[in-house]
Structure 1
Amino acid sequence: MAVEHDPDVNAVGGRRTRHHRRAWLVVALLCLFMLINFADKVVVGLAGVDLIRDLGIDSQQFGVVQSSFFWLFACGSIVGGVLMGRVPARWLLAGAAALWVVSLLPIIWSASFGVLIAARLLLGFAEGPAAAMATSAVHSWFPADKRAVPTSIVTAGAGIGPLIAAPVLTAVIVNYSWHAAFAVLAVVGSLWVGAWLLLGREGPESADATARRDDDPADHVPVRVLLRTSTIIGILVLFFVSYCNVALKVSWMPMYLREGLGYDATAVGRLSTLPYLGTAVFLVLAGVASRMMTKRGVSNRLARGVFPIALVFLSGLSTIAFASMDRGPLQMVLIVLGASLASGGWGVAFTAVSDVVPPRRRGTVMGIIVAVYSVGGVIAPLALGGLVNGAPTPGAGYSSGFTMLGVLLVVGALIALPLLNPDRDRKALAAYVRGETSKSEVDVEDRARLK
């Protein structure tokens, strides 16, 4: 992203203290950004039963509604990745959040299936680059060895959002209507836009700022070479299966609790918060644990590769287990673990991107990563909707769907394990920059790793 100079950062007196305070203020604002981002996603799931009744649609059509959010998600991710190198973060993030608000407005008054699809398409396009934008912005305020914790805190906003939104929006839906829930989110989004325009911007570790201090030749490595490194391939696999998990948690979990397990609307409003609470907790704990591992000299291969992969693997096992169990406290614990462990390593694994990709290329590469893994958000809700619609009972459909998800998480973790190695790939790219390894040799090395 282009940089706007902050006088606090450049001031001589008290520069370090003011920089530190501004950095953590930006972290808080970006955490709130991700909070609103996921609250906007989850509201349709919370209103699902009433929405299906009012629109006269079935479970498969509801799956189409949930899937439609992701149809333009990849396009938005790529457009956002390109703009991140050209538009200041202050304006780019504010513009994205403003589009979220615009997408919510028609649903406040309309009860049309077509309008709902169109609104979710716009929201998905505008939210596509959100994670990449927030990650790039927070990385601009912290050096590489100190990014794991703030990145995890920002990403934790995705878990905190539904945690706060689920009971609040459920109360609004029960006491007023599902239209009113969209109105509440539009107001909150508008307030965030104003706060970010007033207080938000990028820091001294941004791509343009580091380029002015040191024109690093690594910044000129072609994106296609970066995308062929085994670490980026491993991250793509890991994020794809993890995002299938996220998409089902957002789009179908409230419906699963109500239709599949038989909880009432009030109980669903409470229980729906638990997976997001778990996600927020595991995100922060994972960031702290990764940071402690790094400080103790543990390699990035373990701290930012094997560690998040292990969390995804355990998430898969938990998902397989709860899909075959009857309703009860133990099942709810496994639902929370299955939904949150995979997301827990998200911030840590995203940090591995910055270990490999030079600053000037991060926006583009992160946008491509988001575009690829967002395909999981298109496929997973549609697949589960089809299974539920075709099963003899909703419970049987949900059980089959979540079992398949668990297997996918386990297989994805096993595929990513030999691939995700930031230390190795950073050395390979450094050799490429020095001219010691030609492009073709890098490709050969990557193919050898994949074998």
Structure 2
Amino acid sequence: MLLLVFMLLNFADKAVLGFAGVQIMADLDISAKQFGLLQSAFFWLFAVGAVTIGALTSRIDARWLVAGLMLVWVLTMAPLMWPLGFTAVLACRIALGFAEGPAYALCTHIVHSWFPPEKRGLPAGVITAGASIGPLIAAPLLTWVIVTWSWHAAFGVLTVAGVLWLAAWLLLGRSAPPEGSVLGTSVVVDPDTAPVEAPLRVILTTGTVIGTALLTFFAYWSTTLKVAWLPLFLSQGLGYDAVTSSRLITFPYAVAAVAAVGAGLASNRLTERGVSRRITRGYFAGGLVVLAGLSMYLFTIIDRGPLQMVFITLAFSMNSAAYAVAFVAIGDVVHPKRRGTVLGCLVAFYSMAGVLAPLLLGYLVDAAPDAITGYNHGFAVTGLLMTIGGALSLLLVRPERDLARIRERVAAIR
């Protein structure tokens, strides 16, 4: 439960800048391109943080790593409670990005430590749901705070929430059990299906890891636009007022939360029934991203209204549901001693989408004759990229095959 709230705060911290976009652009007197730079800056050290903390998971108890991340989050958000210039806000977002980069991979690593492979889908889905529940709760709450007081007050709310969570974690958080046991109970590990320890060069060149990297890169491109630009698209592009936009923005997050848990549960059930993990991991996750990509392209050619909102909701929710299933595939082929590092490398790779997506959309909006044209061009391109990335992952993610290949290559090295 605490990790669920951890991810809730993680994405609320990311999303708050988008909720306050209009006010921030006015207060700092910046253009759409500069606002895109501000959003992109969050990801400049995202990859560095993901790889650095991922490498430390085999040396330091993950419980203390999580506590350290939250402490940095609080310290980087607290200054934004007061008026600052563009450069100072930029610096705070860069530092926050470094500390938030490892969050999802670290939570996934902890979940994998507590559950056997065939039961990881559901808890991983719950953790992923936290990333959607965060903005779902934050959108109306923080928008109300921003409209009633200011965007500085919104950062104050998040700072206090972070301090309270850190206190609860230090009091109630527990270290993961040793590998081979779950919740203190011994687990029988099948030596024929358990991942073996292998060099990183062997693991990172498997189809499952490459396919997951492609899938999450294009899915995260969409996630970044949802956090950074969707609130502004609804208000500036489609003309909804601030209150209506804050309500509409909850739809993709609500559906994503339900879909993440549902996808994890379905993957669990199918795997336990003996269905190939190529289907329960690769086809399932890839299919969700393809659906999201096609939906994104379609909403750019449909007039404003309920049908367009249906496709907007699908476009920004199905990709989120794919994360939990895709990352479970990594646990299927990667030994626990390498898992944190590999997950960190994946986050580092897909975080590059977080750097590029806000900048590209900001450029297209500024360069277009009007805002809606720029938004539609950017989202249409994203939809096509997601469709391609999801389709490629369908072909590449094959955990059973790659586990056998890793075993063969390790045996050859020895």
Q: TM-score range by the shorter chain?
A: over 0.9
Once the two structures are TM-superposed, the CA of residue 326 in structure 1 deviates from its matched residue by: 1.5
Corresponding residue of 1:103? 76
1:306 and 1:298 mapped to 2: Cα distance?
12
- Distance in 2, Cα, partners of 1:286 & 1:163: 19
What displacement does 1:149 show? Answer: 0.2
Distance verdict in 2 for CA 1:328–1:359, change over 3 Å: same
| 1:164 alignment partner AA | I
Distance 1:205 1:381 in 2: 41
1:143–1:205 Cα contact (<8 Å) kept: no
Query: Normalising to structure 2: TM-score of the pair?
Result: 0.95
1-structure distance, mates of 2:54, 2:27: 38
Provide the rounded CA distance (Å) in 1 between the counterparts of 2:179 and 2:275.
26
* 1:237-288: CA deviation from partner (whole Å, max 9, x where unpaired): 0010000000000000000000000000111111111111111011011011
- The equivalent residue for 1:222 is 199
> What's the CA shift for 1:430?
2.0
SS for the counterpart of 1:137 is: helix
Q: Does 1:73 align with 2:42?
A: no
Aligned to 1:162: 135
Tell me the equivalent position of 1:42: 15
Alignment of 1:331-370 (within 5 A): 331-370=308-347
Counterpart contact for 1:219–1:361, Cα < 8 Å: no
Task: State whether structure 2 residue 403 is matched by structure 1 residue 426.
Answer: yes
Summarize the alignment of residues 390-405 of structure 1 with structure 2, pairs less than 5 Å apart: 390-405=367-382
Aligned twin of 1:281: 258
Aligned to 2:122: 149
Write the deviation string for residues 424-443 of structure 1: whole angstroms up to 9, x where unpaired.
0011112233x2x459xxxx
1:33-432 alignment, distance < 5 Å: 33-206=6-179, 220-432=197-409
**C-alpha deviation, 1:416, in angstroms:** 1.6
Give how far 1:82 is off: 1.3
DSSP 3-state at the match of 1:173: helix
- RMSD value, Cα: 1.8
**Contact kept in structure 2, 1:160 and 1:277, CA below 8 Å:** yes
- Contact 2:128–2:321 at 8 Å: present in 1 too? no
- Give the Cα separation in 2 of the matches to 1:252 and 1:98: 27
SS at match of 1:102: helix
Q: 1:25 matched to which residue of 2? A: none
Quick one: distance in 1 between partners of 2:355 and 2:152? Answer: 24
CA deviations on 1:115-151 (whole Å, 9 max, x unpaired) are 1100000110000000111001111111111111001
2:94 and 2:30 map into 1 onto residues whose CA distance is 18
Aligned-pair CA distance for 1:208: 11
Structure 2 counterpart of 1:389, which letter? D
Q: CA deviation at 1:219?
A: 5.0
Identity, % of aligned pairs? Answer: 51
Alpha-carbon distance between aligned partners in 2 of 1:201 and 1:362, rounded to the nearest angstrom: 20
SS at match of 1:232: helix
Contact 2:139–2:249 (Cα < 8 Å) also in 1: yes
Answer whether contact 2:252 2:313 (CA < 8 A) is retained.
yes
Aligned residue type for 1:147: R
Q: Distance in 2 between matches of 1:227 and 1:273?
A: 36
Separation in 2, partners of 1:318, 1:354? 30
CA distance in structure 2 between the aligned counterparts of 1:206 and 1:389, rounded to whole angstroms: 52
Q: What is the Cα deviation at residue 324 of structure 1?
A: 1.4
8 Å Cα contact 1:387-1:401 kept in structure 2: yes
| Count of aligned residue pairs for this structure pair | 408
Conserved? CA contact 1:231–1:421, under 8 Å: yes
CA distance in 1, matches of 2:47, 2:153: 29
Distance 1:320 1:327 in 2: 14
Q: Which amino acid aligns with 2:67?
A: A
**In structure 2, C-alpha distance between the alignment counterparts of 1:367 and 1:296, rounded to whole Å:** 31
Aligned to 1:444: none
| Partner SS for 1:374 | helix
Superposed CA deviations along residues 211-246 of structure 1, whole A, max 9, x for unmatched, are xx99x9965411111001111000000010000000
Distance 1:271-1:228 versus aligned 2 partners, 3 A rule? same
**How far apart are the structure 2 equivalents of 1:205 and 1:303?**
27
Gaps of 5+ in 2: none
Report the more deviating stretch, 38-47 or 413-422. 413-422
1:349-382, CA deviations, whole angstroms, 9 ceiling, x for partnerless residues? 1000000100000011010000000000000000
* 1:140 and 1:202 in contact (8 A); partners too: no
Q: Normalized against structure 1, the TM-score is what? A: 0.88
Instruction: Name the amino acid aligned to 2:260.
Output: L
Q: Distance in 1 between matches of 2:280 and 2:197?
A: 27
Q: Is the Cα–Cα contact under 8 Å of residues 219 and 360 in structure 1 kept in the other structure?
A: no
Partner SS, residue 303 of structure 2 = coil
Taking the aligned partners of 2:180 and 2:48, their CA distance within structure 1 comes to 23
Deviations 1:12-45 (A, max 9, x none): xxxxxxxxxxxxxxxx111111000000000000
State the distance in 1 between where 2:203 and 2:225 align: 30
Q: Post-superposition shift, 1:196?
A: 1.1
Q: CA deviation at 1:197?
A: 1.1
Q: CA deviation at 1:323?
A: 1.2
Q: How far, CA to CA, are the matches of 2:97 and 2:341 in structure 1?
A: 18
